[in-house]
Structure 1
Amino acid sequence: MIHQIYPQVAHSFQYEINKDMSLAAAHFIPHEAAGKCAHLHGHTYIINITVAGDELDETGFLVNFQQLKRLIHDRFDHTLINDHGELFNEKNSYDFPTAESIARKVCEIVQEHLDTLPNRPKCLQVFVRETPTSYAVYRPKWEKK
């Protein structure tokens, strides 16, 4: 994988990890204004997930990198993203499988898992590169308690 610099998230947590992964998947945007993207096509997505927190778990991890890969890569690699009906649909534009929505959905999946961990880390950012020249970033709004 090519190493690259991602946009940084300003935060006051003590620890931050980033997990890169690459997955091959197809999609189409179900709207006539999407132009060529309304047709079925595929990408090699590059996804970077940023997680931060103040406490490590009993193994010394903020979160296990392998778990992040299982949550996302194993779920979406070599699939038609539109077929993930629990996440994406053709009725609500916020649920079309655009790079922006994919980034948001990945963040939500990751955070749902993080919420089960005793050290309660936060997913601060998901970066989704769709092509060498196009990417989306999603950052949920968090307030540190």
Structure 2
Amino acid sequence: MMQQFYPQVQHSYRFELNKDMHFSAAHFIPDEDAGKCQVMHGHTYHINVTIGGNELDPLGFLIDFKQLKDLIHKKYDHSVLNDHPEFQHRFPTTEILAETIWTTIQDVLRTRENRPVCLQVIVRETPTSYVIYRPRQEDLL
């Protein structure tokens, strides 16, 4: 497996967790300004999620890697992104997908007693194109 290195987000947390995952999905952007992307097409999306926190749970995790994978991979793998309810009113661009993944993860992290936070989500759509989503500080509260 090839090791990936990603842009780092500055933080002062004691622990930083990074999880890489990938899934295959199709999407389309139904607007003439989208050019070729108007037509349904697919990608193998490569995702990197960065979680930070100062406290571990009773098992010694910020959050279990498997839980992160289940939140994202199980939901989107081999699907049409446009068919998911979260994209009914917004086109599933790479930028919107990155923000949506962040929201999904952060919503779960807010329920954890140790209160980790999702610091960034990177979504690579092609070998040469990726988006980084970093929340505003107030979004982490």
**TM-score, structure 1 normalization:** 0.93
Q: Which amino acid aligns with 1:110?
A: I
Q: Which amino acid aligns with 1:24?
A: S
Residue 137 of structure 1 corresponds to which residue in structure 2? Answer: 132
- Report how many aligned residue pairs link the two structures: 140
Within 1, Cα distance between the matches of 2:22 and 2:79? 13
Within 2, Cα distance between the matches of 1:139 and 1:96? 19
Q: Which amino acid aligns with 2:61?
A: F
The 3-state SS of whatever aligns with 1:128 is strand
Residue 114 of structure 2: which of 99, 112, 119 is its match?
A: 119
Over residues 93-132 of structure 1, what are the superposed CA-to-partner deviations in whole Å (9 max), with x where a residue is unaligned?
Answer: xx21000000000000000000110001000000000000
The 3-state SS of whatever aligns with 1:123 is strand
**Cα drift, residue 43 of structure 1:** 0.2
Which residues of structure 2 form unaligned runs of 5+?
none
Within 1, Cα distance between the matches of 2:137 and 2:57? 21
Within 2, Cα distance between the matches of 1:142 and 1:62? 19
* Percent identity for Structure 1 against Structure 2: 56
**Cα drift, residue 39 of structure 1:** 0.5
Residue 103 of structure 1: which of 88, 98, 122 is its match?
A: 98
Over aligned residue pairs, what C-alpha RMSD do you find?
Answer: 1.3
Residue 15 of structure 2 corresponds to which residue in structure 1? Answer: 15
Which residues of structure 1 form unaligned runs of 5+?
none
The 3-state SS of whatever aligns with 1:49 is strand
Q: Which segments of structure 1 move beyond 3 Å, counting only runs of 4 or more?
A: none
Residue 76 of structure 1 pairs with residue 71 of structure 2 = no
Q: Which amino acid aligns with 1:88?
A: F
**Cα drift, residue 2 of structure 1:** 2.6
